[in-house]
Amino acid sequence: MKKREFLKFTAAVSAWLASGKLPLLAGVAQLDAPFQIEPVSRAVPQFVPVRKTGLTGNYTLTYQIIRWNGKGLSGNDLNPPAGHLTLSRSQKGPGAEYRIEKQVVLPYWGGSRVRERQTGTFQAVLRVDADEIPQSWSFRSALTEPIPPDMISFAELSMEGTHVNNTIRLSGKQLRIEQEAPGTLRSEFTLPHLLMNGNSGKTPLRFTMLRELAKIHPDQRLEFETELPVPVSGETVLFDSYLQTGRGVQPIHWLTDKNGLVQIMTHGVENWLLQSVKEQ
């Protein structure tokens, strides 16, 4: 595959996260909130944690996606609701199958201002082994208009992927990709299950991340950071904060309750707040 085509493909995948423009934490006026939850500081006071214990291998987690628009904004303009993410996990023999649905509103940047808005949709099936390591997957994604002229051919993607012998292979109508994936492969969609089942504990988890089931980010490290009191709706809740750092990603904070359930994920532009848990 030509380098130019690959860059367009990765840009299309990255549209979920920032649509080409990332606000910088360093450029934002200080807010009265710990940095772990700064990107959702206006949404957290209304957040009601979901109380659920005893989840096993079959469940559905639904998260509200909260956008962080960065400096110069306040109130609802800082943290508007931007969509939802649903992670449905079903035990399949020794492994599991995830069905993932995501819909998110993205700003379409024209110059330095938001001109219009796009809606992105993402549906995927991910199969993992007994250690939650991705084995095979397929996904479809689409962006509504307006679409930059050089991205039209990637506005709709339909891809299938496999992970064999530390090699990722992606194939679809538009292109084929083969990438090395050294170390243990993880997806951001399976990390909540790992955290819920105590796989991280106080020992750092090292892995290569398969982001959006399409992009490889090696040298990731997920480790317990601190206990964090968070003022949510009507109370203050003590969460365990786990910090993920590594090549190619901004720091990610995973906040779990004492049962390991991920209640909040912050990652700059796109953030998650848990809305519901359903056992299957």
For the chain, what are the domain ranges?
A: 3-279
Sign of CA dihedral 199, 202, 203, 204: positive
Mean pLDDT estimate for the chain: 84
Confidence of residue 69 (pLDDT cuts 50, 70, 90): confident
Instruction: State pLDDT tens for residues 89-125.
Output: 999 999 999 999 999 987 655 544 555 577 889 999 9
Q: What is the pTM of this model?
A: 0.85
Confidence of residue 18 (pLDDT cuts 50, 70, 90): very low
Q: What is the per-residue burial (b if ≥16 Cβ within 10 Å, else e) of 189-218? A: bbbbbbbbeeebeeeebebbbbbbbbbbbb
Structure confidence at residue 80 (pLDDT): 86
Structure confidence at residue 22 (pLDDT): 41
Task: Determine the residue type at 71.
Answer: K
DSSP per-residue codes, 29-85: PP-SS-GGGGGGTTTGGG----------S-EEEEEEEEE---TT--GGGTS-EEEEE
Structure confidence at residue 105 (pLDDT): 86
Task: Determine the residue type at 133.
Answer: I
Pick from 212, 219, 132: nearest CA to 182:
219
Structure confidence at residue 143 (pLDDT): 83
135 or 112: which carries more pLDDT confidence? Answer: 135
192 or 79: which carries more pLDDT confidence? Answer: 192
4 or 19: which carries more pLDDT confidence? Answer: 4
Structure confidence at residue 26 (pLDDT): 36
Confidence of residue 12 (pLDDT cuts 50, 70, 90): low
Instruction: State pLDDT tens for residues 258-268.
Output: 999 999 999 98
Q: Does the pLDDT at position 24 exceed 60?
A: no
Q: Does the pLDDT at position 60 exceed 70?
A: yes
List 162's β-bridge partners, or say none: 136, 169
Confidence of residue 173 (pLDDT cuts 50, 70, 90): confident
Structure confidence at residue 10 (pLDDT): 54
CB 140 within 8 A of CB 120: no
